Amino acid sequence: MATELQTIGIYAFLLGIVVAIIAGLAHGMLATYEGAITLLLVILGLIVGFLNIKDKEITNFLIGAIALMVVGSANLSVIDTIIAGLGTILQAIVNYILVFVAPAALIVALKRVYTLAKGV
């Protein structure tokens, strides 16, 4: 049972990253499906948060999530002045990855708070 859940979590993570990258690359062409893509990434992020991150990985995962959020706040579209369109694509990819990672980070943070509140 645990092995099956771990496998599902691994595939959810890989699928989330692939969907985020493809959606970012095709950002302008997928405007009609943006809501569905966002919903898919949120669901995959929740699955990853519940199934993939173990207690010993929580701190590292949350630090990584914070780093991604900092990168997401950067204005990557400035790169467009050097290579037209590249900054916009990079910003879209990072934004979609954030949509994927944020729900996982929320679940993991809540797990940590619950553990701390229990006093374990």
Domain range annotation of the chain: 2-118
Residues 6+ apart with CB under 8 A from 16: 41, 44, 45, 48, 100
Question: 1-43 pLDDT, tens per residue?
Answer: 567 878 888 899 999 999 999 999 998 888 889 999 999 999 9
End-to-end CA distance of the chain: 25
pTM over cut 0.85 = yes
- The amino acid occupying position 90 is L
Tokens representing residue 10 in the block = 């691994």
Of 100 and 83, which is predicted with more confidence? 100
